[in-house]
Structure 1
Amino acid sequence: MAADRKDIHNSDVPVLCRSCEARHRGMCGVLEPEQLVALAKATHKARHEPGTELIGESTKIQSYANVMRGVVKLTKVLEDGRQQVVGLQFAPDFLGRLFGYENAVAAEAASTVELCVVPKRALEGLIAENPALEHRLMQQTLRELDEARDWMVTLGRKSAQEKLASFLYLLATHSDPVADLKAGARFELPLTRADIGDFLGLTLETVSRQISKLRQLGVIEVTHNRQVEVPDLKRLQALCG
């Protein structure tokens, strides 16, 4: 009987939402089927290839998005044109500055990315009617703040090897949030080695040297230059400092 009720409940959920792997872990996890239906009427899926600009820095906010699949690179550009990678987003992260007027950072598809895009007015209207949704988005924002503070420690205090290990561990665990630490992980590097160096405050040569060291230690295996396999996540975690 319980299974039947669950099937009936799921039948009320929009097809777009049923196919979303990030729904239950993301902002939509707190919405009832009728609320998902209302939201789905205003949303659309968008697929972007690597290198596509998703958000321009200092542009007016007109929509938000939920990351359904892939990796998004957040950047800021200095006046002289130099670019700094300031963060990465994964499913089911929320993309956009909630209740803001202007985007504070630029966003680019670091890999093939799928987004669920919702107009600013539609989402903010739903938030006004649903305290649970506002609470969920606040939780996600605070989690990102905690991760940003942890990353400040990585950049300020860790060695080059610890920085790279922390970066790879971040990718491994976000690519598969329920990964078993004793088991392995496989993922594709969403950034070039130059971008990794930019993100970690390391030179391109140092990044390449540290990747080679981790390969020699048997902590990682790299194929086709971008495909990374971690045989034992606990070994990688131990090198994160």
Structure 2
Amino acid sequence: MQPVRNDIQTSPVPVLCQSCEARHQGICGALSPDQLLTLSRQTRRVHRDAGTELLADAEPITSYGNVLRGVVKLSKVLEDGRQQVVGLQFAPDLLGRLFASESRVTAQAASDVDLCMVPKAAMEELLHDNPALEHRIMLQTLRELDDARDWMVTLGRKTAAEKVASFLYLIASHIDPSQAEVTTFDLPLSRGDIGDFLGLTIETVSRQMSRLKADGVIEIENYRHVSVPDLTRLRVRCG
């Protein structure tokens, strides 16, 4: 009797990439196993605690970061120190402006984040040789542009109540894209940062959140932990 063979073959996809939840939806979804293997030799996965500066305004760009988990806050800081939050990034967004020599915003970990860092030269070389990757990044860039335009409408036309609801819906829909029956998350921004992002005072933000809680649209524990029992109800409050 011949010995039983084990015909199970190992996947050509790098082990680190196999466990990456952001791989299929992010930029790496456009790469073949061979390309993933080549890229993985130059990448490194890093963890950054909430509050850590990831990239400073006008800082030279030497690498890009694929967001794997958490929320990144993008802001502009004026010369007198005033700050304006201009955007948020979630998995699987790409941190860093492609082909730019320096950053145009300050990026900070709004929550604990995990990033897959790719050297600038390696990414741009891969883009040159991979139209599918270039196409995927273009679509991601256009989506971010659409989001920015939608947010202009939020800031310019919506009421304070609608702004706060829109912010919570933005977080809820990105933290849990599967839109489970009950969505829970920790607010990645302080009340002050939320106010900066929405053009509202801290008091107004707190008052509108309290109203949403009183109406049963959201639940809040320990000031930052939010539960949304019904995303549709929250979306209706967005106006």
Normalization by structure 1: what TM-score? Answer: 0.95
Q: CA deviation at 1:10?
A: 7.0
Amino acid at match of 1:229: S
- Is this contact kept in 2: 1:51–1:111, CA < 8 A? yes
Partner of 1:4: none
Amino acid at match of 1:162: E
Partner of 1:227: 225
1-side partners of 2:231 and 2:128: how far apart?
42
- Worse-matched range after superposition: 7-16 or 75-84: 7-16
Q: CA deviation at 1:19?
A: 1.2
Partner of 2:113: 113
Q: Secondary structure of 1:68's partner?
A: strand
Partner of 1:155: 155
- Is this contact kept in 2: 1:71–1:89, CA < 8 A? yes
Partner of 2:49: 49
The one-character-per-residue Cα deviations of 1:59-97 (angstroms, maximum 9, x if unpaired) are 111000100000000010012110110000000001100
Q: CA deviation at 1:176?
A: 1.0
- The alignment-based identity, stated in percent, is 65
2-side partners of 1:82 and 1:203: how far apart?
14
Q: CA deviation at 1:9?
A: 8.6
Partner of 1:133: 133
1-side partners of 2:178 and 2:30: how far apart?
20
Structure exhibiting the larger radius of gyration computed from Cα positions: 2
- Is this contact kept in 2: 1:47–1:113, CA < 8 A? yes
Residues 79 and 19 (structure 1 numbering): CA distance in 2 closer, same or farther, change over 3 Å?
Answer: same
- Is this contact kept in 2: 1:76–1:84, CA < 8 A? yes
Amino acid at match of 2:236: A
Partner of 1:184: 182
Partner of 1:3: none
Partner of 1:237: 235
Q: CA deviation at 1:8?
A: 7.4
Q: CA deviation at 1:149?
A: 0.2
2-side partners of 1:45 and 1:210: how far apart?
38
Residues 67-82 of structure 1 correspond to what in structure 2 (within 5 A)?
A: 67-82=67-82
Q: CA deviation at 1:15?
A: 1.1
Partner of 1:26: 26
Structure 2 residues without counterparts, runs of 5 or longer: 1-6
Dislocated runs of 4+, deviation >4 Å:
7-10
Paired positions, count: 233
Q: Secondary structure of 1:92's partner?
A: coil
2-side partners of 1:220 and 1:28: how far apart?
35
Partner of 2:38: 38
Q: CA deviation at 1:184?
A: 2.0
Q: CA deviation at 1:155?
A: 0.3
2-side partners of 1:103 and 1:168: how far apart?
28
Q: Secondary structure of 1:132's partner?
A: helix
Residues 21 and 212 (structure 1 numbering): CA distance in 2 closer, same or farther, change over 3 Å?
Answer: same
- Is this contact kept in 2: 1:9–1:33, CA < 8 A? no
- Is this contact kept in 2: 1:74–1:108, CA < 8 A? yes
